[in-house]
């Protein structure tokens, strides 16, 4: 069975929830409407913040994930029958902590996954950092990992997601500075060294500096970095190209996941007070059947059908 997935990377400026819903419904009327629709970081939590204090912005936008905003987003995904990544939201946890959290809704309107940004943009981003890598399965397609903006600067994030079986990593971004220039090759490099797809979605002007892109497992731009304008960028992700790159080699001559062989000793990693175990180096192979997907369990967090991570 083909594992092709039509994706839409929606590079647009910050919106209210009502504007977002209206715009998404219009986009889904296209004959090329996507199965997976992705919006930028803090897309629904940035409108008007330039005129607010930090506390005012938090008071306005931070909600529990199962609050009114989350219920509306789930209902919208169910109405349109799509996988929806509405960017990230400000999550208010039970203890009052606030996180910058990516959320994913499946076509039944259920929250399929959520990921709290690990590498917050310190000292300017005031939110609590997350402590768990997250991947989720799209039945019939493949396994997807989540990262947020500055996470792309830390290769450990994408490496762990790939090791957990992610074949596509979605990187949600709101970069309103020239830092986006550096983020473009970083996302390309993360795709190349892990032999995975990477989709990086930034906001449009005036919220952010655009440059959204889709990179394949050999580092080719399937959607070249866009300008700063409002745009809906549609592409096809062929999940089988991950296995092809790893089997035949990137450009036919590089197999980064095959470096370690039986009998190799552990490689010490003093920076992490740890090591690479050659026996555990290769990435997980995502299950292909619904039954196997329900039974899958990996180190880290794999989103289950109820949206909760398990370890």
Q: CA torsion 265→269→273→276, rounded to 10°?
A: -50
pLDDT of residue 31: 86
Output the CA angle 215-217-223, nearest 5 degrees.
Answer: 20
DSSP H helices, the chain, are: 17-27, 54-61, 68-80, 155-163, 180-194, 240-248, 290-295
3-class secondary structure, 299: coil
Closest of 293, 235, 303, 187 to residue 35, by C-alpha: 235
pLDDT of residue 1: 62
Please state, in angstroms and rounded to a whole number, the distance separating the CA atoms of residues 138 and 85.
13
Is the sign of the CA dihedral 255, 258, 260, 261 positive or negative? negative
Task: Return the CATH number at 249.
Answer: 3.60.110.10
pTM equals 0.93
pLDDT of residue 32: 84
How many domains, the chain?
Answer: 1
What burial letters (b/e) apply to 61-75, b meaning 16+ CB within 10 Å?
bbbebeeebbebbbe
pLDDT of residue 311: 31
pLDDT of residue 299: 45
Whether the CB-CB separation of 301 and 309 falls below 8 Å is answered with yes
Q: How many angstroms separate the most distant Cα atoms in the chain? A: 61
Tokens representing residue 231 in the block: 């745009």
pLDDT of residue 302: 66
The helix (H) or strand (E) run that includes residue 125 is none
pLDDT of residue 294: 47
Please state, in angstroms and rounded to a whole number, the distance separating the CA atoms of residues 41 and 26.
21
**Which residues on neighbouring strands pair with residue 223, listed in sequence order?**
214
pLDDT of residue 104: 98
**Which residues on neighbouring strands pair with residue 308, listed in sequence order?**
none
Q: DSSP character for 33? A: -
Q: What is the mean pLDDT of each run of 10 residues along the chain (311 residues)?
A: 92 98 96 95 97 96 98 98 98 98 98 98 95 98 98 98 98 97 98 98 98 98 95 97 98 96 96 96 81 46 46 31
Please state, in angstroms and rounded to a whole number, the distance separating the CA atoms of residues 43 and 182.
21
DSSP H helices, 99-255, are: 155-163, 180-194, 240-248
- Which structural domain, as residue segments, surrounds residue 251? 4-310
**Which residues on neighbouring strands pair with residue 10, listed in sequence order?**
232
């Amino acid at each position: 069975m083909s594992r092709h997935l039509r994706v839409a990377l929606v590079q647009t400026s910050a919106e209210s929830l009502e504007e977002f819903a209206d715009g998404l419904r219009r986009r889904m009327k296209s004959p090329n409407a996507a199965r997976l629709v992705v919006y930028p970081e803090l897309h629904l939590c940035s409108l008007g913040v330039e005129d607010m204090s930090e506390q005012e912005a938090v008071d306005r936008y931070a909600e529990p994930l199962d609050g009114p905003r989350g219920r509306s987003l789930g209902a919208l995904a169910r109405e349109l029958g799509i996988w929806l990544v509405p960017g990230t939201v400000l999550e208010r946890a039970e203890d009052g902590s606030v996180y910058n959290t990516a959320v994913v809704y499946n076509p039944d309107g259920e929250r399929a996954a959520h990921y709290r940004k690990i590498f917050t943009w310190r000292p300017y981003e005031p939110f609590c950092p997350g402590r768990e890598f997250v991947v989720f399965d799209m039945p019939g397609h493949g396994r997807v990992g989540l990262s947020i903006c500055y996470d792309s600067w830390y290769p450990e994030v994408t490496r762990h997601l790939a090791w957990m079986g992610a074949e596509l990593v979605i990187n949600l971004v709101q970069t309103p500075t020239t830092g986006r220039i550096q983020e473009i090759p970083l996302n390309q490099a993360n795709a190349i060294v892990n032999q995975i797809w990477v989709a990086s979605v930034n906001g449009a002007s005036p919220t952010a500096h655009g440059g959204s892109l889709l990179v394949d497992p050999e580092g080719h731009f399937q959607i070249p970095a866009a300008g700063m304008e409002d745009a809906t960028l549609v592409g096809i992700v062929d999940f089988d190209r991950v296995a092809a790159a790893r089997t035949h080699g990137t450009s036919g001559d590089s197999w980064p996941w095959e470096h370690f062989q039986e009998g190799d000793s552990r490689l010490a990693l003093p920076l992490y007070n740890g090591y690479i175990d050659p026996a555990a180096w290769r990435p997980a192979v995502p299950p292909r059947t619904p039954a196997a997907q329900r039974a899958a369990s990996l180190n880290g967090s794999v989103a289950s059908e109820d949206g909760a991570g398990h370890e």
